[in-house]
Structure formats: structure tokens, C-alpha cells
Amino acid sequence: MVRKNELRDGETAIAAPPPNDAGLVFIGRIHTPWQDRLTCPRQGRQDGPTCRIEVFEPWVAALDGITEYRHIEVLYWLHLSRRDIVRQSPRNDGVARGAFSLRTPVRPNPIGTQLVALLRVEGANVFVRGLDCLDGTPLIDLKPDRTLFKPLAPAQAGDFQVGEA
Amino acid sequence: MVRKNELRDGETAIAAPPPNDAGLVFIGRIHTPWQDRLTCPRQGRQDGPTCRIEVFEPWVAALDGITEYRHIEVLYWLHLSRRDIVRQSPRNDGVARGAFSLRTPVRPNPIGTQLVALLRVEGANVFVRGLDCLDGTPLIDLKPDRTLFKPLAPAQAGDFQVGEA
């Protein structure tokens, strides 16, 4: 069963400082078939349903050129998630492990990242497959898949720097 | 040349709403060899220098189990970046394209994501290779590489849902 807001046996909640080190702006909204956390996929799949990412003004111009990429990375805000559980029990069986070793939505900064297949862009709407988030999820960012993107700007010294073997 | 804060020929800056839809908490600090944006790599490399990700309390317990993964995803806050340029000219040649078709640090929500090789964990410190950010960059999140992670929680209906061919 997906977590609603309960703390489970074996889990550890912390008293976290207020989250005001930096502020996010929601730049769009994601439309998916999933209205409820009880039916949402655990993981997106590339043959999953087509979802629509609606980009708000004044950011629509930032989509220019995105269709050069077959795959893009999507960052979104997991707006229903608790943020204070550092050790979690995914199976609800009393066995807990750290949040950073899980891709749980319950995280100190509840940001989801997903790599999706880009189908097409129509105006302010980007159609993709591979998402796993709730309908209405706030959009934070879109980027080209890192494995497909080659920087256009000139290289810098750090690009050639390697470490010890 | 890397951008400092200038607006270049052909670029478009917008008047964005204040970024107060959600708040982030900085959960750590990233230590790298790069003190200046003029030497920072454009892209991390898996044979790059070892970098140290320092996790702050009260989040250190969330690292438990992370060493099961050879690769992890790192999210960080690009604290020196402008956020208002929707069309950018990476080569500074008058040719501009959308920010969402670039992996530029200049974005409405300046969050960097990188997939890195996990070397070891010592207490609150995670040693990795493959980063490309400035020394002192604020940490936002750590997650297992999505291609290595298998959910521990039971599957839900959405996991089996596919779209039209």
C-alpha cells in the first residue's frame, strides 16, 4: 500500500528546519491518468500512457529547440509528500532504510525526476510517455536527456580534468 | 566563455513571478576542485576528480543503504545562476534557443542533476566521481540511479498500464 501520511513501524521522523533556503516557481502542470496515490505507478514506463506537460507563460519560449531530443528529463514537485521521514519502511514490515537509498516521494526536498520519451510539442503542451506522477503535479524543469545533450558552449578547463585511477 | 550574469545578443529575459510556490532546504554541501565558473566542467565525467558530498544533520540517517548502488543521482542548487533568460545563446553568437533545450545552469528553477559513480561513504560524507558543479554548491537530494533501483513497495495498478501503440 502506498503511504498516505502515516509513520510506519521502524521509521524515523526528524524535526527539520523550515525549507526556506531557496524558492521554487511552478512553471507548468502535468496531466496524467492518475488521480490517486493508490493507483499511481511506482515507476514510469516508456510504453506507458501519453501524458501532457502544460508549460505556463512566460516560460513557453524556453521550449524552442526541445524537439531535437527524443528523450527529455522532467523535474516535478511531489506536492502531497511528507518531507521529514529519514528512515522508511517501503514494505511496511518494520524494516527501515534511508530515504536516499530509495526513490520514494517522501524526501527532504520532494522533487521527482523522470526520463521520458518526447512525442511532440503543440504550443505550450509537451506530450510524453514514461511519467509516473499524479494528475496536477507542478512542473519545475525540463532538460534534454544528459546522454543526448552535447554542450554548445566552448569547453572549459574542467572538462578535461580526470582523477586518480 | 561561461556566462557570468550578462544578457547576450539575441537572448530573451522575462519578468518572472516571485519564486515562492515551494521552498527548498539545503541538506548538505558539495566539495569539488572548481572555485570559479570559468574553469568548471561543462559536463561531469565518470573518470573525473573525486568530489565529496557532505550531508548535514538531521539527514545523515537517510544515507543508510545507499552503498548498495554503484551509481546515484545528485540534485543540487545552482546558486549563482540567473533564472530569467528563456532564450539563450550558448555560443554568444546571436543565435538563441530555449532554455529547456539546453542543460544550462540558467533556468527558471536552477537545479542541476547528475548521475555519478559512488565510491564510498564515510559518516556524513559521500565520495563520488562525475560531478561538474562549483565548490560549495548546496545539496538538495540524493537518489539511487533510476535504472538500478527496483521498488521495494508492492506494485500498484498504474505500474501495468500501457498506452496506445
How far B41 CA sits from the closest chain A CA (Å)?
A: 4
- Say which range, A64-68, B3-7, B26-30, B117-121, has the weakest mean pLDDT: B3-7
**Would you tell me how many other CB atoms lie within 10 Å of the CB of residue B44?**
24
Asked if B91's CB is within 8 angstroms of A152's CB, the reply is yes
* Contact criterion met (CB below 8 Å) for A89 and B129: no
In this predicted structure, the answer to whether residue B7 has a pLDDT above a threshold of 90 is yes
**What is the rounded average pLDDT of the residues B5-21?**
94
> Looking at this protein, which amino acid is placed at residue A31?
H
Asked if B68's CB is within 8 angstroms of A2's CB, the reply is no
Which string of b and e fits A116-128 if b means at least 16 CB within 10 Å? bbbbebeeeebbb
- Residue A158 is predicted with a pLDDT of 86
* Residue A150: C-alpha distances to residues A68, A144, B25 (Å): 12, 10, 31
Asked if A24's CB is within 8 angstroms of B65's CB, the reply is no
In this predicted structure, the answer to whether residue A11 has a pLDDT above a threshold of 70 is yes
- Looking up cell 524515523 gives A12
Q: Does B154 touch chain A (CB under 8 A)?
A: yes
* Contact criterion met (CB below 8 Å) for A114 and A132: yes
In this predicted structure, the answer to whether residue B127 has a pLDDT above a threshold of 90 is yes
In this predicted structure, the answer to whether residue B78 has a pLDDT above a threshold of 90 is yes
- pLDDT one-digit tens code per residue, B45-54: 899 999 999 9
Q: Which residues of A touch B91 (CB under 8 A)?
A: 152-154
- Residue B165 is predicted with a pLDDT of 62
Asked if B100's CB is within 8 angstroms of A142's CB, the reply is yes
| CA nearest to A89 within chain B | B153
Name residue B118's beta-bridge partners. Answer: B128
How far B30 CA sits from the closest chain A CA (Å)?
A: 16
Q: Which residues of A touch B129 (CB under 8 A)?
A: 163
- Residue B38 is predicted with a pLDDT of 87
- Residue A42 is predicted with a pLDDT of 87
Considering only the beta carbons, identify the residue of B25, B61, B157 that sits closest to A87: B61
B1 confidence band (pLDDT: 50, 70, 90): low
In this predicted structure, the answer to whether residue B131 has a pLDDT above a threshold of 70 is yes
Whole-angstrom distance, CA of residue A74 vs CA of residue A162: 29
In this predicted structure, the answer to whether residue B164 has a pLDDT above a threshold of 70 is yes
- Looking up cell 543540487 gives B76
How far B104 CA sits from the closest chain A CA (Å)?
A: 9
- pLDDT one-digit tens code per residue, B21-35: 999 999 999 999 999
End-to-end CA distance of chain B: 45
In this predicted structure, the answer to whether residue A1 has a pLDDT above a threshold of 70 is no
**3-class SS at B112?**
strand
Asked if B144's CB is within 8 angstroms of A61's CB, the reply is no
**Would you tell me how many other CB atoms lie within 10 Å of the CB of residue B9?**
11
Whole-angstrom distance, CA of residue B126 vs CA of residue B139: 12
Q: Does A123 touch chain B (CB under 8 A)?
A: no
- pLDDT one-digit tens code per residue, A76-98: 999 999 999 999 999 999 999 99
Q: Does A108 touch chain B (CB under 8 A)?
A: yes
CA angle A110, B148, B47 (to 5 degrees): 95
- pLDDT one-digit tens code per residue, A114-151: 999 999 999 999 999 999 999 999 999 999 999 888 88
